[in-house]
Amino acid sequence: MTDSLTVRDNRTGQEYDVPIADGAIKAADLGKIRTDDDSPGLSIYDPGFVNTASCRSSVTYIDGEKGILEYRGYPIEQLAEKSSFLEVSYLLVHGELPTADQHQQWVHDITFHTFVHENVKTFMQGFRYDAHPMGMLMAGTGALSTFYPDARNISDPDVRYLQIIRMIAKMPTLGAWAFRHAQGKPYVYPDNDLSYTENFLAMLFKMSEQKYNADERLVKALDVLFILHADHEQNCSTNAVRSVGSSQVDPYSAVAAGIGALYGPLHGGANESVLRMLRRIGTKENIPDFITGVKNGDERLMGFGHRVYKNYDPRARIIKKAAEDVFEVTGTNPLLDIALELEKIALEDEYFVSRKLYPNVDFYSGLIYEAFQFPPEMFTVLFAIGRTPGWLAQWLELVQDKEQKIARPKQLYMGDRELTFTPASERWA
Ligand code: ACO
């Protein structure tokens, strides 16, 4: 067996041998296929990168058919159960689990960098009273590049490390301040006696009490949610981080681009739609009618189906369990019963089974966030905080990858050519 592809160009009758490595051919090799020396080489047309690998990566593995998700080779189920968000962040960024000393240093470094420059606060306060927190987070992250101009030295490993620490540390501070801003409440400074996730909850909800004490079960549930969102290989926002980062801009600007991508409803916003859907269904009795509507193509069962997972999204299973833990503290949400019943019916229904439609990560996450009393606008901010180490691990991989180049896709030009320009004075005469 030869690891190559033989391509016959029926326009010319010529055959080409294209090497196959790691299950892929190089698009540039197809560029050698041309009808004559003057014509452009063959290119690949792939809007949405449906079947184009943009990089080699060792960060995250997904097998969508089997419902497998692994960070650096470790199954997500084990990490969610036995690790913490900061340890998982270390794993993603460094590629391996920390020793006790490395972990202590990592947690110390991140805790040490949770504060932001006072002018960042002034900057955040400049937003309109009803500014969307995701827009504030995106702008705040981009603005950090002006506070750390050294960040542009991306070829220096120490400089890179410092920005990674700063960004993981400061994202909850910016996210919490964006939340408080919309409520007209004073911003709360970080409390470095608290753990990463406890401190985030304190910055969100602390009022006049001396010390904010969050329920441990809520802290754990939110930490697990951060772990579940920490990376998902080459999704839209990670691709944005890599694409912008390929210009060798500083990582704050690259991550701000990722936040912009996540802001969009096709990426970070489906859990909000799930809540709206559950509210509209209202009672369990209305579920059969709703399902009939879905099967007739009137609407979609939100929180079901995934481009990659053709099996139960492993994150959905873990979130379902986390939801139970949260409701133990906050009291149950009546929408949960509808969600459970919907899931039960859909998983037995031929329409969903034959199309391999299973609950995705968003089916239960909105319910949990609502139990925490987050408004829907905050859902993507939580996603962004969790995704930050993943974006940074991918960015680090990009800047160290000798095969990477500035991201610059080709196009198939469909417009006019060689028109003759008539000046405006003549055209409008
Ligand atoms: N409800 C009903 N039918 C569905 C659903 C759904 N949620 N999802 C897919 N289908 C059907 C489609 O109608 C199609 O049926 P057909 O073959 O009879 O035409 C078939 O299943 C295949 O669907 P596609 O749209 O081709 O699948 P694609 O991979 O393009 O879409 C997507 C994936 C966008 C996630 C889709 O399943 C969907 O819209 N789900 C609901 C929204 C949602 O939950 N999004 C969150 C995704 S997770 C995340 O982004 C973090």
Q: Is 132 a catalytic residue?
A: no
Percentage of the chain surpassing pLDDT 90?
Answer: 91
What residue spans of 148-233 are helical by DSSP H? 157-183, 196-205, 216-229
Q: For residues 250-257, give the mean pLDDT.
A: 98
**Nearest residue (CA) to ligand 1, atom 37:** 305
**Nearest residue (CA) to ligand 1, atom 38:** 305
Taken in order of first residue, the domains within the chain and their CATH numbers are 1-44 (no CATH), 59-403 (1.10.580.10)
Q: For residues 328-339, give the mean pLDDT.
A: 91
> pLDDT (tens digit, 9 = 90+) per residue, 60-107?
999 999 999 999 999 999 999 999 999 999 999 999 999 999 999 999
Q: Output phi, psi for 234, to 5 deg.
A: -90, 60
**Nearest residue (CA) to ligand 1, atom 49:** 267
CA-to-CA distance for 386 and 388, rounded, in angstroms? Answer: 6
pLDDT of residue 271: 85
**Nearest residue (CA) to ligand 1, atom 27:** 307
Atom of ligand 1 at shortest distance to CA of 232?
A: 51
CB 387 within 8 A of CB 229: yes
Pocket test for ligand 1, best of 65, 229, 300 (most atoms within 8 A of CB): 300
Mean pLDDT, rounded, of the chain:
95
Report the candidate in 262, 361, 369 with the shortest Cα–Cα distance to residue 306: 361
pLDDT of residue 333: 86
> pLDDT (tens digit, 9 = 90+) per residue, 268-280?
878 888 998 999 9
pLDDT of residue 270: 83
> pLDDT (tens digit, 9 = 90+) per residue, 132-145?
999 999 999 999 99
**Nearest residue (CA) to ligand 1, atom 4:** 300
The torsion angle over the Cα atoms of residues 215, 217, 222 and 224, rounded to 10 degrees, is 160
Q: Identity (one letter) of the amino acid at 97?
A: L
The torsion angle over the Cα atoms of residues 415, 418, 423 and 427, rounded to 10 degrees, is -60
Among 132, 267, 325, 349, the one annotated catalytic: 267
Atom of ligand 1 at shortest distance to CA of 355?
A: 21
pLDDT of residue 339: 93
Q: Is 117 a catalytic residue?
A: no
**Nearest residue (CA) to ligand 1, atom 10:** 305
Q: How far is the CA of 380 from the centre of ligand 1 (A)?
A: 20
CA-to-CA distance for 358 and 313, rounded, in angstroms? Answer: 7
pLDDT of residue 9: 96
> pLDDT (tens digit, 9 = 90+) per residue, 294-312?
999 999 999 999 988 999 8
Q: Is 156 a catalytic residue?
A: no
pLDDT of residue 236: 95
Q: How far is the CA of 164 from the centre of ligand 1 (A)?
A: 35
> Taking CB atoms and a 6 Å cutoff, what residues make up the pocket around ligand 1?
267, 270, 294, 300-307, 355, 357, 360-362
Q: 264 in the Ramachandran plot: left (φ > 0), alpha (ψ -120 to 50) or beta? A: beta
Percentage of the chain surpassing pLDDT 70?
Answer: 100
Among 29, 229, 306, 313, the one annotated catalytic: 306
Q: For residues 180-184, give the mean pLDDT.
A: 94
Of 108-112, 191-195, 357-361, which range is least confident? 357-361
Atom of ligand 1 at shortest distance to CA of 307?
A: 29
Q: How far is the CA of 301 from the centre of ligand 1 (A)?
A: 8
CB 88 within 8 A of CB 107: no
Atom of ligand 1 at shortest distance to CA of 267?
A: 50
